[in-house]
Chains A and B, each alone.
Chain A
């Protein structure tokens, strides 16, 4: 396979050496580690036959888990668009003490192992936790409910939105705002009609990245979710449960559905980033 693509990928003439070696190694390594193993999921699913696959996919517990994973990821990404935009705005536009600390802290979800994040949020939002104990009198339960999943996913997705928006906002031409103000727009109108449209592609990119990450997230969720079937059991956990039951067909079917949707999201993200690049010249 790599030999054929190799012929397709003939480079423009160049004096630099190493094309054959580096491209050959890249394609081989990529195929061995990523592409062939991923293809295994689809080969397995195809081996089940359409009817068997459909029976597995339409299993009510599977559907409930997929709905939960996509629903909570969607809500969390939505929250992150609002607060991520706000955080990016504050970090780019204003000066205040500790700004660098706050800016650096945004990347914590990238660096902190997901299991640690899961433990931390469970400790905070459990009924006897720092925040959980404040919410119990209000009748709000976060830990061991779908709401807990949303909270964990907000943490996981936050840096995607902030880091997508930040460079575009920092690069934004102030003269456009001045022009808008001279033409009689209020500050709110300027933000809504001049700044936000420019930021839209980067906001959507951040949203899609946070959403894609949230759908597949596992480590930070399983501690806080309570993992009750049909209620707070996410799709990746159901894959693990099926594997532990040696129900490989069941696990593979869920994985195939998730992969197809992930690939569609990846395509969407690429289109959004190209749009952002065309509009602002910034490579997200």
Chain B
């Protein structure tokens, strides 16, 4: 729907009135105005109840005691260290998935081989695994009772209950985001452009950077955007491997939980509202990408 390239910039044009000539007339393929109004009212009421109201509640609770306690709970040292850790984790895991997404979609979309759809399913696997299990698997590997954990810990490498474990768990849950955005688009674009570039004497890397990358840049940005939102907001997987050491291994979502369990509701909702704000920014950027570059995003890959 938003993939229509003609939809470009319609925001500045007043929308066309719907082609209904008279108020109580209905064509055989539409509903009566009364039914239509009832359907719209019910559908929108549901969206308001399930989407807008919770969002409003977060900001309302955050500012319940006024502006000062709100900002006070954002600048205290534990909150700041949670913000720093969240940014650090996203700064490692998002580029890791970006590179993987590019590499995997090149192999999958530009070549024909047996077992392709199976490979795509494997890449999508993390979407159907509970985040808690995503954390658990790294405890089983790297924990003190794990497969390689005892050896690593004896040699001074702490993976779980430390930052590396948080990064690994985050990469796990955000693994498919970039790849699944790019694969359908690159398959649809085919390899004609690349073959032309190669036949004109471009090297493989030149072809990739000057031909392929410009073709997929908006879809790539779209995937990175969603990947980043999940990386910064991940709770379950990170909670299992973090160890919850205040000021050290607490990300923002974990900090929210700790504050909430200490009945420090204003602070919990203040940090939560910061995350909600991040989600809103993500949604706005995502919508802008869909409206402006819908055709270059591949209508299929929306997730």
Q: Please give the residue numbers on chain A whose beta carbons come within 8 Å of chain B beta carbons, in ascending order.
A: 5, 8-12, 14-19, 21-23, 25-26, 29-30, 33-38, 40-41, 43-44, 83, 86-87, 89-96, 100, 102, 104-117, 119-121, 123-124, 129-131, 154-155, 158, 163, 166-167, 170, 174, 177-178, 181-182, 187, 190, 212-213, 215-219, 223, 235-237, 239-240, 243, 246, 248, 251-252, 255, 258-259, 262-263, 265-266, 269-270, 282-284
Q: Are B275 and A259 in contact (CB under 8 A)?
A: no
Contact A16:B110 (CB < 8 A) given known A115-B256, A187-B31, A252-B136:
yes
Contacts of B126 in A (CB 8 A): 34
Question: Residue of A at shortest CB range from B112?
Answer: A12
B147 interface residue (CB < 8 Å to A): yes
Contacts of A108 in B (CB 8 A): 51, 55, 279, 283
Q: Are A116 and B233 in contact (CB under 8 A)?
A: yes
Contacts of B137 in A (CB 8 A): 37-38, 40-41
Q: Are A94 and B36 in contact (CB under 8 A)?
A: yes
Instruction: For the complex, give the distance between the alpha carbons of A217 and B42 in Å.
Output: 27
Contact A110:B229 (CB < 8 A) given known A86-B43, A115-B272, A218-B235:
yes
Q: In the complex, which residues 1-28 of chain B have their Cβ closer than 8 Å to any Cβ of chain A?
A: 1, 15, 18, 28
Q: Are B106 and A216 in contact (CB under 8 A)?
A: no
Instruction: For the complex, give the distance between the alpha carbons of A104 and B290 in Å.
Output: 10
B91 interface residue (CB < 8 Å to A): no
Question: Residue of A at shortest CB range from B10?
Answer: A100
Q: Please give the residue numbers on chain B whose beta carbons come within 8 Å of chain A beta carbons, in ascending order.
A: 1, 15, 18, 28-31, 36, 39-40, 42-44, 46-47, 49-55, 57-58, 61, 100, 103-104, 106-108, 110-115, 117, 119, 121-133, 136-141, 143, 145, 147, 168, 171-172, 175, 184, 191, 194-195, 198-199, 204, 207-208, 226, 229, 232-236, 239-240, 252-254, 256-257, 260, 268-269, 272, 275-276, 279-280, 282-284, 286-287, 291, 299-300, 302-303
Q: Give 15 new A-B contacts, CB below 8 A, not counting A22-B103, A111-B286, A116-B256.
A: A15-B198, A26-B103, A93-B30, A108-B55, A110-B226, A111-B229, A112-B275, A115-B254, A120-B55, A155-B51, A177-B28, A187-B28, A213-B128, A219-B239, A237-B132
**Which A-B residue pairs are the 4 nearest by beta carbons?**
A216-B130, A113-B233, A219-B235, A181-B28
Contact A170:B276 (CB < 8 A) given known A14-B110, A26-B103, A218-B236:
no
Instruction: For the complex, give the distance between the alpha carbons of A166 and B1 in Å.
Output: 8
Q: Are A115 and B107 in contact (CB under 8 A)?
A: no
Most chain A beta-carbon contacts within 10 A, residue among B107, B184, B253? B107
Q: Separation in Å of the B290 CB from the closest CB of chain A? A: 8
Instruction: For the complex, give the distance between the alpha carbons of A17 and B203 in Å.
Output: 9
Q: Are B204 and A17 in contact (CB under 8 A)?
A: yes
Supply 14 A–B pairs (Cβ within 8 Å), ascending by A.
A16-B111, A18-B106, A18-B107, A22-B104, A23-B111, A34-B122, A37-B172, A41-B133, A92-B1, A107-B283, A116-B272, A120-B276, A219-B236, A283-B300
Q: Are A236 and B283 in contact (CB under 8 A)?
A: no
Instruction: For the complex, give the distance between the alpha carbons of A276 and B124 in Å.
Output: 18
Q: Separation in Å of the A79 CB from the closest CB of chain B? A: 10
Instruction: For the complex, give the distance between the alpha carbons of A237 and B114 in Å.
Output: 39
Contact A105:B47 (CB < 8 A) given known A9-B115, A120-B54, A218-B130:
yes
Q: Are A113 and B234 in contact (CB under 8 A)?
A: yes
Contacts of B282 in A (CB 8 A): 111
Q: Are B61 and A123 in contact (CB under 8 A)?
A: yes
Q: Are B114 and A119 in contact (CB under 8 A)?
A: no
Instruction: For the complex, give the distance between the alpha carbons of A248 and B299 in Å.
Output: 43
Instruction: For the complex, give the distance between the alpha carbons of A217 and B161 in Å.
Output: 22
Q: Are A25 and B279 in contact (CB under 8 A)?
A: no
Q: Are B140 and A106 in contact (CB under 8 A)?
A: no
Question: Residue of B at shortest CB range from A155?
Answer: B50
Q: Are A96 and B40 in contact (CB under 8 A)?
A: yes
Question: Residue of A at shortest CB range from B286?
Answer: A107
Q: Are A29 and B51 in contact (CB under 8 A)?
A: no
The one of A116, A170, A251 in contact with B275, judged by C-beta atoms closer than 8 angstroms, is A116
Question: Residue of A at shortest CB range from B115?
Answer: A9
Q: Are B29 and A174 in contact (CB under 8 A)?
A: yes
Contacts of A240 in B (CB 8 A): 132, 239-240
Q: Are A243 and B114 in contact (CB under 8 A)?
A: no
Question: Residue of A at shortest CB range from B138?
Answer: A37
The one of B55, B113, B145 in contact with A11, judged by C-beta atoms closer than 8 angstroms, is B113
Most chain A beta-carbon contacts within 10 A, residue among B39, B50, B117, B125? B50
Contacts of B284 in A (CB 8 A): 104
Contacts of A44 in B (CB 8 A): 140
Instruction: For the complex, give the distance between the alpha carbons of A167 and B42 in Å.
Output: 21
Contacts of B133 in A (CB 8 A): 41, 216, 236, 239, 255, 258-259
Question: Residue of A at shortest CB range from B204?
Answer: A17
Instruction: For the complex, give the distance between the alpha carbons of A181 and B28 in Å.
Output: 6
